[in-house]
């Protein structure tokens, strides 16, 4: 009996200490300089839905830009025409690097890191929206990203490679109409001019209204230079079947490869021979070549990793529970893609990005982990799809039945998905909101949209389960209603677009910019309201001017745990 009580008391003490620190995650504080090393394997989740697996026939891909210290600002790059002889400069762009606001904004300062490479410009480049990566262009090309890593010997952290993953996505946005075009372009540029420096193994979900692909790329090792005459990268892409869904939670997802089947596979001509050359695959062993086992092997399962690698299992558990896949299944053995039990909507995808493995053995509020107010951010080893370290989350959606400027949408939410709100940015709009272009982790800025959402999240943490209900009401008002309004917006935009493309784009500009402005204002007010309502850990009713101090009282189990702790600690104090 005493042993059990002692265990309980230790848990209570640990939880109290964690609660006092108010750290949103179990990681130690990180600087921008160390973020790459510490977060590269514990970051972005990409959910992918092919057109036949969605409710409306759209393709969708997500990106949770998880870092905790990275730049969250956005830009719109307009379409442009170029004269013969013009060139495009290529820059090194570090995913994780930021600068103090007084020095300038990232998407201006990165141009100080010119690689020395200029490639011929094309006659016309497409307009697109980008944050950390290029996400959607005016041709309805969408991208999502996840770092997957690679075997150590392949890293090339020298400045010799001209391309990193961010630069590849920006060039793809500028020059590609379709997913296949983008994949071939990025692969060929990386092979010719080298890939790496800031990045190792990376995965991109590349999609258009018709096709959805998983594209994975690896550096060619630290000794590569253009003078070797060999490719400066190795890459592979596999198409998700039209009636299926897939996911990438920082793990390579492509297994056996058949480059002869061009309907479903694309890749470097040397992808097998290079693996043999590097000692990553024994062609004489009689086993089929597996891309992920050769270039980015990762052992373990959801169970063996104590939930740190549970996202892969959890996704399949959400979309296809009928398969009854076991969390003990080694992650390398999960299927590349599956047919979901039911068609998936954009709201379903939004909900999945907020998932915290609730109701499973990996639930972060199970037992005492969430404290008295069921806060999933206090303690737990489970790495969930939703995470407090996220800068922003995107859902890129491509809809082939509409003209590209109207059919493409980037749904964007800032900060922790649970306490944020998805806002639509149509592919054809001529700019992104001004409040999306500024902001920094270390300087509070009330003109920055991101800070409005962090403001709400911060005031949710204190009385999490009660405050989250207030946030959900706001999400229903500003997010769910907007999702349901999209067909109406589409119809009006299409009618105007058919009369004049400029009129249609002008309408979408007005809608997206004003809607985002209204949501940001609503979230600043929501943060104020939460501050007032749950002040003193009670419940202040502003309308009735009443305070119900019992509204958010600690649950009985928590009080009992405190008594157990007191009973054990009191003799020690004497």
pTM of the model: 0.92
Of 50, 121, 46, 120, which Cα lies nearest the Cα of 81?
A: 121
- pLDDT confidence of residue 33: 34
Residue 14 pLDDT: 42
pLDDT tops 90 at residue 551: no
State the pLDDT confidence band at 569, using cuts at 50, 70 and 90: confident
Mean pLDDT in residue range 47-74: 96
Q: What is the DSSP string of 464-525?
A: HHHHHHHHHHHHIIIIIHHHHHHHHHHHHHHHHHHH-HHHHHHHHHHHHHHHHHHHHHHHHH
Average pLDDT (446-456) is 98
The pLDDT value given to residue 379 = 85
Q: What integer pLDDT is reported at residue 4 of this predicted model?
A: 43
Cα gap 307→313, rounded to integer Å: 10
Give the Cα separation of 169 and 102 in Å (integer). Answer: 28
Residues 6+ apart with CB under 8 A from 188: none
User: Is residue 132 a contact partner of residue 71, using CB atoms and an 8 Å limit?
Assistant: yes
For the stretch 381-426, pLDDT in tens is 899 999 999 999 999 999 999 999 999 999 999 999 999 999 999 9
Span 341-366, average pLDDT: 96
Count helices and strands (H / E) in the chain.
15, 20
CA 559 to chain centre: 38
Is the model's pLDDT at 284 over the cut of 60?
yes
Please give the pLDDT value at position 512.
Answer: 98
User: Is the separation of the CB atoms in 98 and 438 below 8 Å?
Assistant: no
Domain boundaries, the chain: 31-533
Task: Give the β-pairing of 124-125 and 59-66.
Answer: unpaired
* Rounded Cα gap, residues 305 and 384, in angstroms: 13
DSSP state of 110: G
Judging by DSSP bridges, how do beta strands 80-81 and 114-120 pair with one another? unpaired
Check pLDDT > 70 for residue 20: no
Burial status of residue 396 (CB atoms within 10 A of its CB: 0-12, 13-18, 19 or more): buried
Q: Measured on CA atoms in the order 99, 102, 106, 108, is the torsion positive or negative?
A: negative
Instruction: Report the mean per-residue pLDDT for the chain.
Output: 91
Cα separation, 500 vs 379, in Å, equals: 55
What mean pLDDT comes out for the span 141-169?
A: 97
Q: What CATH superfamily classification does 31-533 receive? A: Penicillin V Acylase; Chain A (3.60.60.10)
Are 147 and 41 spatial neighbours (Cβ–Cβ below 8 Å)?
Answer: yes
Residue 479 near residue 422 (C-beta atoms within 8 A)? yes
Res 567: pLDDT: 86
Alpha-carbon distance of 151 to 200, in angstroms, equals 9
DSSP annotation of 288 reads P
Average pLDDT in the 529-547 region?
Answer: 92
* CA neighbours closer than 13 Å in the CB half-sphere of residue 324: 0
**Closest listed residue to residue 396, CA positions, set 166, 525, 209:** 209
Q: Give 358's pLDDT tier (boundaries 50, 70, 90).
A: very high
In three-state form (DSSP H/G/I as H, E/B as E, the rest C), the secondary structure along 192-227 is: HHCECCCCCCEEEEEECCCCEEEEEEEECCCCCCHH
Please check the confidence at residue 19 and state whether its pLDDT lies above 70: no
pLDDT tens digits for 219-264? 999 999 999 999 999 999 999 999 999 999 999 999 999 999 999 9
In contact, 47 and 349? CB cutoff 8 Å: yes
Q: What is the structure's pLDDT at 571?
A: 63
Partners of residue 394 on adjacent β-strands: 63, 412
Average pLDDT over residues 16-20: 36
Separation CA 219–CA 164 (nearest Å): 9
Confidence of residue 31 (pLDDT cuts 50, 70, 90): very low
Quick one: pLDDT at residue 572? 56
DSSP 153: G
3-class SS string, 335-376: CCCECCCCCECHHHHHHHHCCCCCCCCCCCCCCCCCHHHCCC
Q: Predicted confidence band at 214 (pLDDT cuts at 50, 70, 90)?
A: very high
Taking residues 96-124, what's their average pLDDT?
A: 95
Residue 57 has pLDDT above 90, yes or no: yes
Query: HSE-up of 227 (CA within 13 Å, CB side)?
Result: 2
Task: Please tell me the least confidently modeled range out of 78-92, 181-195, 372-386, 426-440.
Answer: 372-386
For the chain, report the end-to-end CA distance as a whole number of angstroms.
22
What is the per-residue burial (b if ≥16 Cβ within 10 Å, else e) of 452-467?
Answer: bbbbbbbbbbbbbbbb
**Nearest-angstrom CA–CA distance, 276 and 510:** 55
Segment 111-116 shows an average pLDDT of: 96
């Amino acid at each position: 009996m005493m042993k059990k009580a002692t265990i309980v008391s230790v848990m209570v003490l640990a939880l109290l200490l964690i609660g006092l620190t108010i750290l949103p995650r179990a990681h130690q504080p990180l600087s921008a300089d160390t973020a790459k090393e510490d977060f590269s394997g514990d970051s972005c989740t990409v959910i992918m839905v092919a057109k036949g697996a969605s409710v409306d026939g759209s393709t969708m891909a997500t990106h949770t830009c998880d870092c905790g210290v990275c730049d969250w600002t956005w830009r719109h790059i307009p379409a442009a025409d170029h004269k013969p002889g013009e060139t495009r400069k290529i820059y090194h762009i570090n995913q994780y690097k930021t600068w103090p606001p007084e020095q300038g904004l990232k998407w201006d300062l990165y141009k100080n890191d010119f690689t020395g490479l200029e490639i011929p410009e094309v006659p016309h480049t497409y307009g697109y929206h980008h944050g950390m990566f290029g996400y959607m262009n005016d041709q309805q090309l969408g991208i999502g990203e996840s770092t997957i890593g690679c075997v150590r010997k392949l890293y090339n952290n020298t400045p010799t490679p001209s391309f990193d993953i961010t630069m590849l996505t920006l060039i793809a946005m500028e020059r590609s109409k379709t997913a296949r075009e983008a994949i071939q372009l990025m692969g060929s540029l990386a092979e010719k001019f080298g890939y790496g420096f800031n990045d190792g193994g990376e995965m991109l979900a590349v999609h258009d209204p018709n096709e959805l692909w998983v594209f994975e790329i690896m550096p060619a090792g630290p000794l590569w230079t253009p003078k070797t005459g060999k490719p400066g990268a190795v890459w592979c892409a596999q198409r998700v079947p039209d009636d299926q869904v897939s996911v990438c939670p920082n793990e390579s997802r492509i297994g056996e490869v058949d480059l002869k089947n061009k309907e479903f596979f694309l890749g470097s001509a040397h992808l097998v021979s290079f693996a043999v050359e590097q000692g990553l695959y024994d062609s004489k062993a009689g086993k089929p070549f597996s891309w992920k086992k050769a270039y980015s092997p990762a052992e373990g399962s959801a169970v063996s990793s104590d939930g740190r690698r549970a996202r892969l299992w959890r996704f399949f558990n959400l979309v296809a529970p009928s398969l009854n896949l076991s969390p003990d299944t080694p992650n390398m053995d999960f299927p590349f893609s599956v047919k979901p039990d039911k068609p998936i909507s954009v709201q379903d995808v939004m909900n999945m990005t907020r998932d915290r493995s609730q109701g499973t053995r990996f639930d972060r509020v199970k037992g005492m982990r969430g404290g008295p107010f069921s806060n999933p951010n206090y303690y737990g080893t489970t790495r969930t799809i939703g995470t407090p370290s996220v800068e922003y989350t995107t859902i890129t959606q491509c809809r082939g039945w509409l003209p590209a400027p109207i059919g493409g949408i980037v749904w964007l939410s800032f900060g922790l998905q649970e306490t944020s709100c998805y806002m639509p940015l149509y592919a054809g709009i001529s700019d992104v909101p001004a409040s999306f272009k500024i902001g920094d982790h270390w300087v509070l800025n009330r003109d920055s949209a991101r800070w409005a959402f962090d403001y709400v999240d911060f005031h949710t943490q204190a009385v999490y389960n009660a405050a989250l209900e207030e946030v959900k009401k706001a999400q229903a008002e500003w997010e769910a209603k907007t999702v349901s309004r999209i067909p109406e917006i589409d119809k009006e935009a299409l009618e105007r677009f058919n009369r004049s493309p400029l009129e249609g784009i002008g309408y979408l500009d007005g809608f997206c910019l004003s809607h985002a402005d209204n949501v940001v204002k609503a979230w600043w007010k929501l943060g104020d309201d939460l501050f007032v309502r749950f002040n003193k850990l009670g419940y202040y009713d502003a309308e009735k001017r009443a305070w119900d101090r019992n509204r958010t009282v600690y649950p009985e189990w928590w009080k009992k745990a405190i008594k157990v702790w007191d009973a054990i600690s009191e003799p020690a104090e004497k």
